[in-house]
Each structure stands twice: as structure tokens, then as C-alpha cells.
Chain A
Amino acid sequence: MFACLFGNSPRLPELAREFSPLVESAAEAVVFSIAGLNRLIGSTHQIASEISRRGAEMGITANLAIASNPPAAVLAARNIAGVTIIPPGQEADTLAALPVEALRASAEVSLTLLRWGIHTLGELAALPEMGLVERLGEEGSRLRRLALGQGDALLAIRPPASEYTARREFDDPVELLEPLLFAASAQLQELTRKLDDDGQATNRITVNLMLDAGEFQRVIELPFPMRDARALLKQVQLSLEASPPPAAMTGIEIRLDPVEPRILQSGLFLPAAPEPEKLHLLLSRLKVLAGEDRVGSPEILNTHRPDAYRFRPCAFEPSLPKDTARPHPRLAIRYFRPPPMARVILHEGRPRRLLSERVSGGIVQTAGPWRTSGDWWTDTAWSRDEWDAVLEDRGVYRIYCAAKQWFLDGSYD
């Protein structure tokens, strides 16, 4: 059996949850299951009475209908004032007097029914189903079943908004991260279990550390929802190791922001890609190891400035192979970052000898100069003369002269 509350009160879901965890909230109507309440409360009339009494205590004014299926309960609650109890098998009789407008059909279908002289649900229910389907299609069959009080709609249950917060205070101030992470591990296990039970994940961890004087907060944004306690703990650990709290800690509070979990559909024939959780953890570790601004996917900037790139966040989604012809191998350059200063000996205006901390030797062949400049309208203007130079050891290098100073730019390889 199902009950439906219809009214304007915002506390309708709260009232429904006092009687059942299986609650569907819609506009002005709340449907919930009352299966099993007969053992606790008694007959259907007693259940309706109890719901009414509790609603009155909460100051709620609403219609209440109880029926064997959700659509019949909703129809009755919306259109019949007060408390309505529809015994199983009597749905059609109870709803027969309601006007067809109660079905909230489309304007076109409602007009058609009126033209046919159909004004009540009872008249609609008396029409042959095949005839309705022939004239109104699938919608006709659905409306007739509603008029008969039939329906097998499932409740779209939304869990109530929960707080995913765990707090713990220590007997003695903690100075090291290890015991702190031990406590955080237990908290994250508990919180992720709760998230799992509610079918939720998180994309933000907020860690509040209570210090001897004041508080220390770290907010860790996750690129996608996850609920693996170990992965979350590792994120907390890396974050706190990167910027440890300034004083001994007397307590810890962890809050997870709930979001819908990520749904992925992988393909059998897609090439392997790193698992997102592992990738995020790997990136965090690599940033700790190599440096925050030294890890990422390269993106070439829209400028003629040599060696212009930036890092962008990594997001590797599985994808099918691209069916494109690969170009002929192109001669690559290897940059010396930062470019070392060099001393170049010129002969008739062309480089003849290169001296630098990395490479030195006579130059046997050159090409250039290639004069480039740009960004003269900004503070980062650049202007330089580039040369390609082949040294005696057959190494091919790019050197350039900027502001009367020579630099070794890179090598062709």
C-alpha cells in the first residue's frame, strides 16, 4: 500500500519519513510506502489516523490518500479533499467521479476527450482499450489505466540530504602526521561507508584541524567523484605533507561533500587508460616529487614565441584509435632549459666556433640568421637572430643571439 500527501507545506517529506524510508517527493505531493506499518500501527484506517495526528502536531495541512498503487494514491490526494482510503479493487469506483482534467493530459488529448463527450474518469474507463489506442496511441492506454486506478510506477526515492562529517578530539595534542592520519583513516572509512550506503560519492574533502591556538583548514578538490577511503586518505596525506599544520593538533574534523557518483561505460575494444582514481593519486605524488608546476599535459600557446607552452590539467578518457595517416618523421629539437650562455666566434659575420658549458667546438656549416621578434607591445618582447650550426662532431645545434648575447637554444635530434 502507498500513501500520498498533497499540500503546500515544505515539511511534507519530513512527515513522510517519520513513517517510511521509501519516500518520493514531487511538486506538492509526497508518496511513500506504508507496507509493514500494519504490524506497528494496525489497520489502514489506524495508519491514516496516525499520519493525520502527526501531521496536525507538525502544523501541516494536507490531503491524504492511501491506495494500492502510487498513481491511484496521487490522483486521489490531488483531487479529493481530506483523508481518502481506497481499498484494493475499488480504485476505479472511487476515482470514477473525478473530472478528466485530473489526469493532466496534454491540451490536445483533453480537447479530444471533451469532444467525445468524456467528462469523468468513469466514462473514460468505460471506453474499450483497443479503440483508445487506435485513436490516441500509447497515451490513450496510459490515461485509461490511470482512470481505472491501475499502475505499477516505482517510487523514485531520493535519500535525504545527509551530513558527511566526522569529528574527533585527541586526549593529548598530536604533533606528527602519522597518528593524525591514523585517526583520519578511521573517519574516512566511516564516511565512505555512509556514502556507499546512500549511493553517493564526494568531490571535495574539507579537513579542519583544531590547533592549540586557532584552526587550520585544508580543502581538497577532487577532479571527479570518488568514495574509495584509501584514495581519499592518500589525498589528505599528500595535501598535509605539502603544507603541514603550524602547531600541535588537538582534534580533527573531516567533511565530505556528497555528489552523484560517476558513471562510466567502458568498451571492450578501447585501449587501456589509467584508472581515474589512480591517475589523480599519481599526479599528486608526481607534483610532490617533481614540483607543482612541472607535471601535466602540454598545450602549445598561440604565439610565434619559441618554446611557448603551458601545462593544463590531465583528463585522459578512453577513446578509440584515430584513423589518421601519420606524417613523415619530422626532425625534432631538444631544448636546453634554461638556455646556457655561449661564446661564439664569428668569421665574416658567420659563426665559426662555439664555446659553452654544454657544447664546444668548431662549426663546419651554418644556416641563418633567421631573425624573429614579437610581443613588442608587451613587457615580454623578444627579438633574436637564430642560426643552425653543425659542429665538428656532427652535432646539429640551434644557437641564437639576443641583445648582443649568444645562447645555446637546443639540438636537433
Chain B
Amino acid sequence: MATLARPLSSFPTDTAPHPLRDLSHGLAALPRGSICEIVGEASTGRTTLAHSMLATATLGGEVAVIVDCNDAFDPASAQKAGADLGKLLWVQCGHRLETALRATDMILHSGGFGLVLLDLCEVPAAALHRVPISYWHRFRNALEHTSSILLVLSRQPVARSCAARQFELQQQTIRWRGHAPFQTIHSLTAEASSRKPGGVSPVMLEARAEA
């Protein structure tokens, strides 16, 4: 006998089944209405990955924001990654962590943005440790039941239990083209692994330099 009811598993979910597999392809790996983190040391591809996410969001017609704590954002790199700069709001915070957090709070409560990128890569670990956990709870509450994603870039995890996803990047290789002394950087590869329990295996990401 036919039934009109469909099992819950047949309905599409808001996340891809294998987040890491889609990490390099943008927002499909990140659950909407949550905080996600990308952590890693310098030159591990954090910014490249974030620019890919910006490109996915803006080409999808969404408006994205970058809250740039240390004024490090390069719009030319983002444009080369495919981001539509006309759909991007850039807030330079002048190396002030408090300003970056307050700006993020205002943006999340204003609503309507598909991706909010909080860039804390250059913030010292000691300063990040002093950020009260209540900040992140407040951000998480503001994101609930919205279609926005707060993506935090930093050297180490900062949102702790408030983050729905945490990805750690580790540099693997730097490939060069040409022969010494006439060499240029060809690409940088990094391994991305999930720090939250999920049972997915790490994937390799490759960022090519400009030819």
C-alpha cells in the first residue's frame, strides 16, 4: 500500500554528508546558522580556503562580510579566487580585537548576510584566550535559525564548544616551478582534518600561485 509519508532520511539536509570532501568547494561543508572555525599556522592555506568560501557565497547571490581584525585582507586575491567584490562588505578593525568582536556582534544581529568571516589570524594567542566564552555563546544565539555562517580564521581554536565545525590545516608541501635561481612558487598543499568528532578522514587541499 502506498504511503504519503516520506521517511526523514529522504529529505535534503542543510549539510553535505561528507563535509571535508566539499571543503575546498565552499559553503556546502558548513552548516547554516552556526559558527565554524578554520585553524592553522601561517602559510597553511587558511586564507585561500576562506576566499573560496567567499567566492561561493557571493557568486551564489549572497552578501558576505569580512571582519578584518588586523587589516590583512587582500581584495585582489579574493577576486582571483572568484569572489564578487560588489557583494562583499569589508570592515577594517585596525588591529583592535575588541572592535572586531563588537563589529561581528552588530553584523550578526543585523542579519541578512550569508557568510560572516572573522579573521583573527594575526591576533596573539594570549589575547584570544582573554575573549570570554560568553561572546561566542552570544554569537551562536544570534546565528540560530538564520541562514548565516560565522567563519572564524585563527591560529588556534577560539570558539570552543560553540563551534559546530572545526577544521585544522597543516602545510604539507610547497611546490616550485623552474630551476634555481629562477624559481617561482607553483602551489601550496595542506592537509585539512576535522577537530570535531565526525569520523571523516582528512583531505588534501591545493592552492595554486599565480602563474
Contacts and interface: CB of A to CB of B under 8 A. Distances in A.
Interface of A: 270-275, 278-279, 281-282, 285-286, 289-291, 294-300, 307, 309, 311, 314, 316, 318-322, 324, 326-337, 350, 365, 367, 388, 390, 393-396, 410-413
A410 B59 contact: no
B112 A274 contact: yes
Contacts of A274: 63, 110-113
Contacts of A410: 72, 74
Contact of A322 (B50, B84, B92): B84
Given A298-B75, A322-B59, A396-B188, A413 B46 contact: yes
Contacts of B84: 322
B85 A367 contact: no
Given A272-B114, A274-B111, A412-B209, A333 B74 contact: yes
Nearest to A278: B110
B47 interface: yes
B65 to A, nearest CB: 9
Contacts of B176: 365, 367
B205 to A, nearest CB: 7
Given A298-B75, A326-B55, 9 more contacts: A281-B110, A286-B103, A295-B90, A300-B79, A326-B26, A328-B208, A332-B78, A335-B73, A365-B174
A395 B42 contact: yes
Nearest to A318: B61
Interface stretch (B1-9, B11-19, B136-144, B178-186): B178-186
By CB atoms of chain A within 10 A, which of B56, B85, B112, B121 has the most?
B112
Contacts of A286: 91, 103, 106-107
Nearest to A296: B90
A388 B184 contact: yes
A275 B209 CA distance: 37
A268 to B, nearest CB: 13
B78 to A, nearest CB: 7
A6 to B, nearest CB: 52
Interface string B62-84: 11000000111111111111101
B185 A294 contact: no
A367 B90 contact: no
A272 B111 CA distance: 9
Contacts, number: 204
B187 interface: yes
Given A273-B62, A297-B88, A331 B44 contact: no
B171 interface: yes
B59 A330 contact: no
B207 A332 contact: yes
Given A296-B90, A300-B79, A330-B51, A396 B43 contact: yes
26 contacts: A271-B62, A278-B111, A279-B112, A286-B103, A289-B103, A290-B103, A294-B91, A295-B91, A296-B89, A297-B88, A297-B90, A299-B85, A307-B76, A318-B61, A320-B61, A322-B61, A329-B205, A329-B206, A331-B187, A333-B77, A367-B176, A390-B174, A394-B41, A410-B72, A412-B43, A412-B185
Contacts of B79: 300
Contact of A329 (B43, B62, B121, B208): B208
Contacts of A297: 85-86, 88-90
B24 interface: yes
B147 interface: yes
B74 A332 contact: yes
B60 A272 contact: no
Contacts of A311: 90
Contacts of B193: none
- 7 closest cross-chain pairs (CB), A and B: A274-B112, A298-B75, A332-B77, A271-B61, A413-B47, A294-B92, A334-B72
Nearest to A311: B90
A294 B94 contact: yes
Given A279-B110, A309-B76, A331 B82 contact: no
A10 to B, nearest CB: 47
Contacts of A333: 47, 74, 77
A314 B89 contact: yes
A311 B73 CA distance: 13
B81 A300 contact: no
Contacts of B113: 274
B29 interface: no
A413 B90 contact: no
Contacts of B76: 300, 307, 309
A332 B46 CA distance: 9
A291 B81 contact: no
A330 B112 contact: no
B21 interface: no
Contacts of A395: 41-43
A331 B90 contact: no
Interface string B25-49: 1100000000000000111111111
Given A278-B111, A331-B207, A396 B46 contact: no
B81 A327 contact: yes
A365 B59 CA distance: 37
Contacts of B26: 326
